[in-house]
Chains A and B, each alone.
Chain A
Amino acid sequence: MSSASTSANGGPEVRHARRVLITGLSSYWGGRLAKALEAFAEIEAIVGVDSRNPTTELERTEFVKVSNQHSLIQRIVSAARIDTVIDTRLVVDSIVASRREAHENNVIGTMNVLAACSGSSSPVRKFLFKSSAHVYGCEQDDPAFFTEPMSRSHRPTTAIERDVVEAEASVIDFAAKQPNVDVTVLRCANVLGPDVETSFSRMFSLPMVPMVLGFDPRCQFVHEDDVVHALEHAAIHRVPGVFNLAADGVLALSETIGLLGKRSAPLLPPWGTGMIAGPLRSLGLRIPDEMLNQLRFGRGLDNRRYKASGFEYGYTSRETVTALAEHLRLHPILRGIQQNYTYEGEVERFLRRSRLTRPPEQDAEDQSAAEREPFGI
């Protein structure tokens, strides 16, 4: 791969991302990642695209509102000479979007983003894709630890899993057809953390956590901060390939519930769980289809390959859960304090573009553009 790419370009390869495009800027991951990458001085430009307005306050990231139209993204990519595209859009949880939206975003959206990065004239040299452990599925005869070369043993049965499998397949196909682009795919285990909202974190915030009677599945988690750091790691270093992203340690669900200081409620019947999930959903307990098998068989990932590439996790599975437990304990008290951010295009443009917000020459070092007080004028 590497020898082919050097000869094709004739120049040295990009290792450190310098001009980055983030898709799904308005999603949780896009916003977090853009914020994290702004701290790197070597990254000179960050462009974020999404069809909705950003939900995070960003300093120097340029936001372009664009839906999944590959011709527009392609124009942005070549005009801004983007060398690294980070695709964080993938919907891996059916509580985030409806089935149709998810399909549109995951399958069609990925196709469009990939189309925007392909072509021999494309400046893109690195493509990072945040995928999910859903590609492995979750079945009775699965191994206890999935390694990256393994493929799922059964065809996907839920809509989200089908989408994720299809999206990742198109990324792998892109990697094969574009040998001069370093493609990194990160398959994330179930993410937990104080800010991200997933089916699991929702279930864990209930006063009693439902379990399937007679089953105590193995669960592996990854902390939201570790996911962001893992994407950063791939942006800064050259780590082509497919990697599992899961924290050290596989917990039993009962152990997890104990760490959270909750009680378990084994009220889901072992047979016909899918049938009762419907009525429960209307009672407010939403257990998505892709979670049902996980509540039965669990899933473990072998995380050593990404560790071997130099990445270090900040949290183990156990620490991830205890961090969430701490948050759940304090959340009712702190809820009102943090304010929500609403994106105002005009303000953001003014802050970035106006001459008034540029610091004067003499004290340019110690004052950033955002801290100036152009509002008083």
Chain B
Amino acid sequence: MADRRTSLAPSPTTGEDQDGSSLEVSERERMRSLLPAVEPDRTLDDWGRSERMERVFDATLVEFLYRYWFRAEVEGIENVPAEGGALLVSNHSGALPPDAAMIGKAIRDEHPLPRPLYMTVEHFFKGYPGFSMLIPKIGGVAAHPANVHRLLFDEHELVLVFPEGRKGTEKLVKDRYRVQRFGRGGFVEAAMRGQAMLQPVCVVGAEEAAPVFAQSKLLQRATGLLYFPITPTFPWLGPLGMLGYLPAKFRIRFLEPIDTTKMGANPAEDKGLVQSVAQEVRARIQESLHEMVAKRKSVWLG
């Protein structure tokens, strides 16, 4: 893979000020050391993440869903790197998707060296009252390439992306476990620039937990929401109906990570390489999903 380098035009400015390779390693370390120190008196980090709020959520709603409602089972947790930046890539589904919270919980509970997981969310949430307040506090970060870069490259954190984006959450229940197009491979570029691991993740169960029967264009426009799904409980039970998950059995599988640092000097510039890595990740997730769905005997009991 490494020798398939082409010389394309200089990268479009995506916001990052250096793309790593142009800097000396020592310089990179120096910039890292200039990151603001953690102030012990604070309860929020610089992304607006609140430890306290997260703990409350974790001990109540997330714990209940993970343990008793979805009875989540995890495979391959040892594949999640214990240190360094890693970009987790997962399939996405459901009206108000529970998958991100469950992946975060799996790492927190099952991993020998748990770390916080930053979940990328649409910019939309930053502009919608209520969501705008809550989402950063529980680990959501706007899906801006510069944000992902800083988290991976400078802060060495775990970041979760859903490359399907809205195509995944808008998907109806009849299309379940059909992984949609993976954007334009931006997530691969982000991992390459951030010199991070690419970690594919498969989630089975989320599709049935929050099945979407239809999308209402009219009501979407009326409410200003991103989309307006019709689920067994939403909109019939009001906004809380978004949380009316069916008790499907969850299985989360962490696949073998892909090391993007071993792909040559400046792999993000190689569009062909980016696309082929993106396709490979998508194929691996799809294949693994098929296998997991084939193996399960019941949607509800697993």
Contact = CB atoms under 8 A, between A and B. Distances in A.
B238 interface: no
Interface stretch (B41-49, B206-214, B282-290): B41-49
A144 B144 contact: yes
Contacts of A150: 15, 17, 146
B44 A255 contact: yes
A166 interface: no
A142 interface: yes
Contact of B44 (A143, A148, A251): A251
Contacts of A307: 34
Nearest to A322: B41
Nearest to A147: B17
B123 A214 contact: no
A302 B150 CA distance: 10
Nearest to B16: A147
A144 B39 contact: no
B147 interface: yes
A327 B34 CA distance: 29
B37 to A, nearest CB: 7
Contacts of B41: 318
A149 B150 CA distance: 15
Contacts of B126: 140-141, 297
Interface centre among A144, A218, A250 (most CB of B within 10 A): A144
A304 interface: yes
Interface in B117-154: 123-124, 126-130, 132-133, 136-137, 141-142, 144-147, 150
B30 interface: yes
A147 B15 CA distance: 8
Contact of A316 (B39, B44, B130, B145): B39
A342 B46 CA distance: 43
Given A215-B132, A249-B42, A318-B42, A142 B48 contact: no
Contacts, number: 92
B39 A140 contact: no
Contacts of B36: 248-249, 303, 316
Interface string B1-36: 000000000000101110000000000001100111
Contacts of B48: 216, 218, 250, 252
Contacts of B35: 304
A249 B46 CA distance: 6
Given A141-B123, A144-B150, A149-B17, A255 B42 contact: yes
A364 interface: no
B169 to A, nearest CB: 19
A213 B142 contact: no
A323 to B, nearest CB: 14
A217 B200 CA distance: 32
A275 interface: no
A253 B284 CA distance: 43
Interface string A141-159: 1111101111000000000
A149 to B, nearest CB: 4
A125 interface: no
Contacts of B37: 248
A145 B39 CA distance: 18
Interface string A238-265: 0000000000111110010000000000
Given A144-B141, A304-B34, A250 B146 contact: no
Contacts of A134: none
Contacts of A314: none
B147 A143 contact: yes
Given A143-B146, A215-B133, A297 B46 contact: no
Given A248-B36, A249-B36, A249-B39, A144 B31 contact: no
A147 B34 CA distance: 14
A270 interface: yes
Interface string A306-328: 01100000001010000000000
A145 B146 contact: yes
A31 interface: no
A296 interface: yes
B282 to A, nearest CB: 26
Contacts of B13: 149
A80 to B, nearest CB: 38
B144 A214 contact: no
A96 B15 CA distance: 33
Contacts of B46: 144-145, 218, 249-250, 300
Contacts of A304: 31, 34-35
8 contacts: A140-B127, A142-B144, A143-B146, A147-B16, A150-B146, A250-B48, A308-B31, A308-B34
Given A144-B46, A216-B137, A308-B34, 12 more contacts: A141-B126, A142-B144, A143-B15, A143-B144, A144-B142, A149-B17, A214-B130, A250-B46, A250-B47, A252-B44, A255-B43, A296-B132
Interface of A: 140-145, 147-150, 212-216, 218, 248-252, 255, 270, 296-297, 300, 302-304, 307-308, 316, 318
Interface of B: 13, 15-17, 30-31, 34-37, 39, 41-44, 46-48, 123-124, 126-130, 132-133, 136-137, 141-142, 144-147, 150
The 5 closest A-B pairs by CB, nearest first: A214-B129, A248-B36, A143-B146, A270-B129, A140-B127
